[in-house]
Structures are given as structure tokens and as C-alpha cells.
Chain A
Amino acid sequence: MSGQPFMKIQNSAIQELDSVVVRFAGDSGDGMQLTGSQFSVVTALEGSDLSTFPDFPAEIRAPVGTTFGVSAFQINFGSVEISTAGDEPDVLVIMNPAALKVNIGNLRKGGLIILDEGSFNIKNLKKAGYEINPLDDDSLSQYDVKRIDITKMTVEAVKEFGLGNKDALRCKNMWTLGLLLWMFGRKRQTIIESLEQKFASKPELAEANIAALNAGHAFGETAEMSYALHRYHVNRYKEEAGTYRTVNGNQSLSWGILAGSQLAGLKLVLGSYPITPASPLLHTLSGLKEFGVVTFQAEDEIAAICAAIGASFAGGLGMTTSSGPGIALKTEALGLAISTELPLIVVDIQRAGPSTGLPTKTEQSDLYQAVWGRNGDAPLVVLSVSNSTDGFDVGIEAVRIATKYMTPVMILSDGYIANASEPWRIPDINDYEPFPVKFHKDPEGFHPFLRNTETLARVWAKPGTEGLMHRIGGIEKDYNSGHISYDAVNHQKMTDVRKAKIDNIANDFPLQKVSLGTEGGKLAVVGWGSTSGAIHQAVKRARNDGMDVSHIHLRHIWPLPRNLEELLKSYDKVIVAEMNAGQLNTLLRSQYLLDTTLLSKVTGQPFKIQEITDAIIENLGGIK
């Protein structure tokens, strides 16, 4: 929330808000993700800027009513620029005691709680670990609590459809959504249509859900006075003209890489193995066969990348997707792709580690693995995705670099932006310059490691081409013939050229810009990946408060932008903010001998704006 506080108001007038953060929380079976995403769609269609944060457990169906089974969906929307899902909810929608227990700590003081009183029974309270019903003591006294028996009212509303108790209770989320739509003056039609579509084969469920939605909405109208409910209004956000949609990080990245393969004129071949939170890329691309995309769900992570490398050897664009533990398994094969200098797109949707870690929680702790995590001197290109929409352009750039320089490119995204949605001004594919791959055809003087003197890329000769038969592999190649070579001097030369090729790509990258603020000054906050929104907001507020601080956000992690050293050295102090124990921090210190300050967070949750603001104030000596 970047505007005024969300306050208790005494009259029944509609209150204007610049932005508001709503968090839906309930049991895994309460349909909170669906509720949140439906609310987001309506919010987007009505012109707010928004950012979402689905926050759900790793268990598919955790025991009902437990704290570890709580699933939440947070949305921040407004008439102003929104770039994070919000630090603290203003409105907390609570479907059971466990959801209250898990989420109450984060609610803004004075914030609004809408809770299903009907779920606060002895059984559920016990499961959530409450000895005393929090509705009966004063533990919620600093909040504006609306106790509504949503359970009972939902059952009433759907009675006429003759559903079993279980199916009837499943409509609770739509009742709640109906009430929220009333509160924010949003239309119901889009949701009614999507319910009709979703339950096309079970019309009684569609009707019951719609009835619940309408009942929740009607409740707002009629109970306004008795429950002291208020309505709020959030204006449209003035965005650039164009056609918009919402998109999450995994979608935009899938489409970006496919777009890249189309611009390169290559068949996209994805080898993948299911893993949270990267599987949606496999799901998305396996549904796009009309573009000739080949998807191969391999027997494991290793076979997946091997198939992708095989695809590139055969003249396609090989791609593999995974998360940290899977990337670790792919490491040896990645070394082969580097050694044989084949283009390859490797997507790492990072999650909290090490090992299995917290599969559904976010982190940025694979930077070391991406930049340095292989045997031998094995450089490759590492790009990062900064928000839910950025994946499209990053995907295209990754393909362009991979094919132009004959190198694997690793794309680092993370679990937060993978699942979070934002409005996206849809680009026109025709606005992108194609970069068609030219396969080598000429047998004259051919060997597989002939290099372009400028890019240092080797030629790409694909099987099926007459006269260019060649053998390549992981054994060191002779610089002048491509044959296997155990020669000492040659190994030095090949190691040097592989490094020089990657280093040189910095000249292809744009110069690093200051995302917000000035070149030079007292303080810069450097970030990469999904922290972009939180840092941006914190720096924006600090600058509004007169602080000399700038935001530098990196897309290019390796090689680093060629002006970055000079740029960073133009500030008195540099904070590196990242969701790991200091990986980019180490990288920058080692590259530039620069005394940076680390702001680290590894809780599985994204940065709050306030956390960055605090660090800014502290590093400016506590003076604004």
C-alpha cells in the first residue's frame, strides 16, 4: 500500500483508496488460490494495477484444519503503480482458525478481518492450536473484526440445489468472494461466466457456486448497517494504451523462449522432468504443438537436459527447465554443452534450498550454482527475470545470445514471480527483429570448431548436411581441427577461448542503467530477479522523503554489464539486497574488490518494502 492507511471509517460513504492489500487465507481445501485468482482477474479487468502472491503449502492435501495446511493468496491493487504484492495486508479474509493463527501476525494494525465465525468450532480451534477462542478474548482488539457465519449462510444459499454437505461447504469461497466484490464495487459477470465454464458438465455445481457468489454480494448490501461493513473504491490505474492481460512469470517465460525460437527459425525441443515450481513451463509448452514445439517428459532431470543437448546437436533449440535440485543433477551434462559449445536454454525457477528445502517457497540461492557450479572452468551466460512479465523479453534475449554465441544460457527466475500475476501490455511479435540461425553448409576447410573471429562462436553444422560429418564430445578438442586432443598448450588455449567468448558477450549486453535515481550519490541498492518491485518501491519512497539513494537492478548476471564496476564505484555505499545469504554480494565483491553491504533474507518469503527502507535509512546513517 503506497497511499494513505486503510482506516476504520465511521460513516457509510464509499472510501477512496489509492491501493489496498487483500489476503485470502484458509485451508488447502477452501479454494483460496481460485478465489484469489478470480478476484485478480476482475480487478485487472476493471483497470487496477496489481501484483499477486500465491502462498501455499507443499502438501497437496494437508490434514484439514491444521496450520501447515493453510493456503493463502495475497493481492495488492491500486490506482497507483503497484510493483509488489504488498508488505502487510489491509484486509485479511479468514476461512478457519488455522488461517488466522498463521496470518494474523502480518496484518496491518487497525486492519480489517473478515472471518468465517462458523468455522471457529472447538475441533478447528484445537487443530489450530488455540486453547482459547481468539474471538472470545481481546487478542484481536487492535483490528476491525467482522464475524460472519459464512459456513451457515453458504449452506443456506445453496440448499435448493440438493448438494451434499461437502459440496455445499465448497461454495464458501464463492460466498466470500461475492462479499469482497461488493466491498470493492466490482462486477460479478466475469466470475459467473468462468464458473459456468468450469462446471459445464455439472450444472448444479455451477448454479450453487453462482448462488453463493450472489448471496455473499447480497449480504453486503443488506448487512451493511448491522455489521458496519463499508465499501471502498479504487480508481483505474493510468497505464500506457494497449491490450492487456494478466500473466505470471512461468507463462511469460515459456512464451518468451518460444518466441525466441520462432525468431531464430528453430524447432523448440524441451526436455523436462516435473518439479515445483518449474512444472508449469512444461505444461504450457506441451500444449503448444501447433508451433511445432516438441516436449519430452524424461525419466529424470539428467535425461531431460541430455535430450535438450541432443536436440541442439541435431539443429534444434534445446531447452530444459527445472528448479535448484534438478539443476544440480543436470550439472555434468551442462559441462558437456559448454565443452561442445552448443546453444541451450536452461531455466532454473529457484526455490528455497538446500536439498529439497522449502519446495513452494521462494529464494534466490542458485546464483552460485548458475555462475560457478560446475567441474572445470565452465563459463556460461546467466540472465535473470525481474518480474512476472519480464520473462518474455528475457526468454527472447536468452535464445538470441545462445544461438549467436553457441553457448548454454541459464535463466534464473524464482518461485515468487513464477506464480505471481501482473497486468501485461501484450506485445506484438512482429515488433521483434528476427535473428535467423545460419547453419554452416560449406565443406571447404570445415571443422566443427571453426570460429567466428568476432563472436568466437563455433560453426553450427547439423547432422543431415552432406560433407560436414564430424564427431564431438566432452574430451578436449584441438583448436585447429576439432579432433580430440590431450595437448597441454591446446587445453590452455581452449580454456582461454571459452572464457573469452563468454566475457565478450558483455559487449553485446546493454549498458547497466540506473533503474531509479541518479548515477553516483550516497547510496545504491543493487538487486537482481524478483526483488525488483520491493526495492523499487522502497527507493521511490526514500527519494520522495529526500534521501539520496538509487536503485540498480541487474538482468545480466554473467557476464556482468561492462559498465557496472564504474557505476557501482560512483556511490559512497552499495547495498546488495537478495534472498540468499549473499551470493550476488560475493560475486560483486570478488569481481570489483568493492566493499558492499549485504541485505539478506532467507525466510522463503519475498522482501517487504519496509525491510529495504529500514536498510536504506540505516546505511544513510539513520538520517533521512
Chain B
Amino acid sequence: MNKPVEITKLSPKDFETDQEVRWCPGCGDYAILKGVQMALANTGARPENTVFVSGIGCSSRFPYYISTYGFHTIHGRAPGFATGIKLTNPDLDVWLVTGDGDGLSIGGNHMLHVLRRNVDLQIMLFNNEIYGLTKGQYSPTSRPGLKTPSSPYGSVDAPLSPCVFALGAGARFVARGIDTSLKELPITLARAKEHKGASFVEIYQNCIVYNDNVFGEFTEKKTAQDTQIHLKDGERMIFGKDIKKGLRFNQDKFALEVVILGENGITEDDILIHDEKNRHMAFMLCEIEAPEYPAVCGVIYCNPSESYDHSVTAQIEKVKETKKADFNALLRSGRTWIVD
């Protein structure tokens, strides 16, 4: 008889590697790394069953610093590798680490397809609105007018919203976090891990060297309560230091607006209740931006459906039930003849 295996609970430290972390001092990636290690420990993840897959860029160095299995692949293509891993062994817990350049520019096509197929992965997109590792060119999420080495007169590219993209691609789980919000980020990531299917998490990440403080208007600790809203399913979208601000649906404008409780006759009943399964609401929540609106954080959309890897495996199992795998019979299928 097998002895019952005692599984010791691991701490965030158990997910650290002996590799020297080579991000710039002060980079938001350090905080995210910590947040992920906390999420792994909190959810009882086993290092041997966990795989981190990444593409190319600052964010994509991530696997080297997590003591699980890791695959640092090529630029933009991590979704393909992750899909292959999951199709080969669906029992593995696979995380994908990418950035705004890797995941939305060179790898935009793959991001679209991995989301629509709903491969059971946690996809963390570190958005710093800049190309860091190639020394500061504008990215597909950079704001218009941004001056960089490749846009000395200001970028004229229209930027893309990662969460709107993900929803549009058919993602069944869309969330957002902030690198330094270590209270909330591990919880959001744990939700992502729990979700069966592709979980897309955009993480605002500060690039201290090439795009410092680009999210400053809502990440500043002192004013954060007034500039961020942290969603909870089934609860009203109320925020602010005095818990007086809320999001209301303005029917005339067909848009969300920020209102103040107690002003102009606004009561709690006017404030929207967050419904993670409402895709229309999710689109609106993904589209609003600071400074007019608070930065929307937490789980914006979670509406599970069968994952791709599960469907593929189930189909194979179903065929196996009805057809015998007989190789010699396969070779002799169709018309054959005998030469004596």
C-alpha cells in the first residue's frame, strides 16, 4: 500500500530560484514576481506541476526567477508553446508571461487565438506602454504623442486597450491589477488560476527607465482610493476615500459616469452592481480611463465555458471508446490484394 504523501504547504520563498534577478532596480516586475510567488503559495501550487512560459522582452525573463518548470521562448509566440504544452499534458498548470509589445504587437495574432480558443492558461500581460529591452521605443499601448527614440516628434500610432482586445477576442476571464498593489494582485491571480480556460490579466507595470510614472495619476498611494476602483462581484461599484463615489450607467449617453453619493439626489440604488458574467458591462468597464474615471481593477469579467484542451482531450477519449487502435489494421484499411 502506498504511504499517504504528506504535502507540505509551500511559502512564497519556496518559489524563488537561485538566479540573480536582472531587471532594473525599481522595476515594477519585482513586485509582480512577489505577487505571483504569493499567489502560488496561497493556492497550494506544486512547483513540479507548474510551468511558466514567456516570449521575449523584459517581462519574459520572468520564468528564470520562479522555481517551477519554465520555458523562455521566442518573441510573441508564447501562446503557441503554452497551447502545445497544455494539449500534451492538460494536468499541468500553465502560466504565460508577456508584455504589451510581445503580446499585442508581434504576438497579437496568437493572443487573439489563444483567447478565442479558451486554452486553460493564466495569461499575465505586463503593460508598461513601452519597449524596454530594446531601449525605449513606443509600443502598441503607448499614448499618442509619446516621444521615444523611434518617435522623436511624438508617436502618431493609435493605442490599443489590452482588456478591450481580450474581451473582443472572446476571453472568458478578464482582470486587471497594478504591480505594486500587493494586497489585491495575488487575489486576482488566484482567481485567474482557479478559472478553467484562458484567464487574461493585464498588470499595469511601471518602467522606471523608459516610461517612469506613466500610470502615476492613479497609482499614487496617497490618492489611490479616489483614482482606483476594485471590483467585487455582486457589489456596488463604489469607491473613494470617503466611499462616496460610484459608477452609474447614464442611459442618455449610453456610457458610464462617475457620480457622488448624496449629490443631485444620487443614492446607492443608482450605483451599478458588478456582475462578472455581464460582457456588455465588462466592455464599458474596460474602456473607461483615468483621469476622467478611476482605474478599474480586479476581476472585470468571468464567465467560464469549456476549455480548448479539455474539448480536445474529451474528443480523443470519445473516439478511443468506439475505435480500437490497431496499427496493422490501419495499414490494411481500404483496398488490399495478396501476392502469393
Residue positions of A touching B, CB distance < 8 A: 41, 44-45, 47, 190, 239-246, 255, 258-259, 262, 267, 269, 271, 288-294, 296, 298-300, 302-316, 318, 332-333, 335-336, 340, 425-430, 462-475, 483-484
Contact = CB atoms under 8 A, between A and B. Distances in A.
A303 to B, nearest CB: 4
A467 B82 CA distance: 21
Given A292-B316, A429-B328, A472 B72 contact: yes
B10 to A, nearest CB: 12
A429 B335 contact: no
Interface residues of B, number: 56
A255 B330 CA distance: 9
Contacts of A299: 109-110, 112-113
Given A44-B337, A299-B109, A469-B68, A294 B89 contact: no
Contacts of A473: 63-64, 70-73
Contact of B53 (A244, A298, A310, A311): A310
A469 B66 CA distance: 10
Contacts of B87: 269, 294, 296, 307, 311
A472 B71 contact: yes
B61 to A, nearest CB: 9
A429 B336 contact: no
Contact of A470 (B70, B84, B316): B70
B257 interface: no
A473 B89 CA distance: 20
B308 to A, nearest CB: 9
Contacts of A245: 331-332, 334-337
A101 to B, nearest CB: 35
B49 interface: yes
Given A306-B80, A336-B74, A463-B49, A314 B88 contact: yes
B24 to A, nearest CB: 17
A473 to B, nearest CB: 3
A269 B88 CA distance: 7
A316 B88 contact: yes
A239 B87 CA distance: 44
Contacts of B81: 306-307, 309-310, 313
16 contacts: A242-B339, A244-B336, A269-B88, A289-B320, A290-B320, A292-B320, A296-B84, A298-B83, A309-B73, A314-B85, A318-B84, A429-B328, A463-B51, A463-B69, A469-B48, A469-B67
Contacts, number: 202
Contacts of A291: 325, 327
For B73, B84, B110, which residue has the most chain A Cβ atoms within 10 angstroms? B84
Contacts of B85: 310-311, 313-314, 463
For B80, B110, B312, B319, which residue has the most chain A Cβ atoms within 10 angstroms? B80
Contacts of A340: 71
Nearest to B82: A310
A242 B334 CA distance: 16
B158 interface: no
A296 B48 contact: no
Nearest to B321: A290
